[in-house]
Amino acid sequence: MKTETLDRIRRFTEDRDWDQFHTPANLAKSIAIEAAELLECFQWSDDRYDLNAVREELADVMVYCVDLLDKLGLDADEIINAKMDKNEAKYPVERARGNATKYDKF
């Protein structure tokens, strides 16, 4: 994440005095709500969708995610790589390649 982007998100919230509403719980709720709006872009078709609408909703999800990371003092690269380490262990290539089965059902 570029520093300018994070600073812009912070400034947007601060300028509107919305920080009081951006608790971790409220941000988590907002992520879920915006993710549902993103999913709505694909509601009736997997391959016919409005890319601009997808961009808008995906950006909303990401802004709330970045804000939550910032509020909790977390580093996106660190937590993503830690999770990828776990995913790679749960889904070894030789067992998971081309297979959508959950790891505990191999």
Give me the DSSP letters along the chain.
Answer: --HHHHHHHHHHHHHTT-TTT--HHHHHHHHHHHHHHHHHTTSS-SS---HHHHHHHHHHHHHHHHHHHHHHT--HHHHHHHHHHHHHHHS-HHHHTT--S-GGG-
In a domain, 42, yes or no: yes
85 in a structural domain: no
Q: Which two tokens stand for residue 69?
A: 């990371």
Specify burial of residue 34 (Cβ count, 10 A radius: 0-12, 13-18, 19+). buried
Q: What is the mean pLDDT of the chain?
A: 96
Total-model pTM = 0.90
CATH number assigned to the domain comprising residue 41? 1.10.287.1080
Q: Does 12 map to a domain? A: yes
What's the total number of domains in the chain?
A: 1
86 within a domain of the structure (yes/no):
no
The one-letter code for the residue type at 78 is E
In a domain, 82, yes or no: no
Place of tokens 């601060």: 14
53 within some domain: yes
With respect to residue 88, please indicate whether it lies within any of the assigned structural domains.
no
pLDDT digits (tens, 9 = 90+) for 54-101: 999 999 999 999 999 999 999 999 999 999 999 999 999 999 999 999
Asked whether residue 95 is domain-assigned, the answer is no
Its domain, for residue 10, covers 3-74
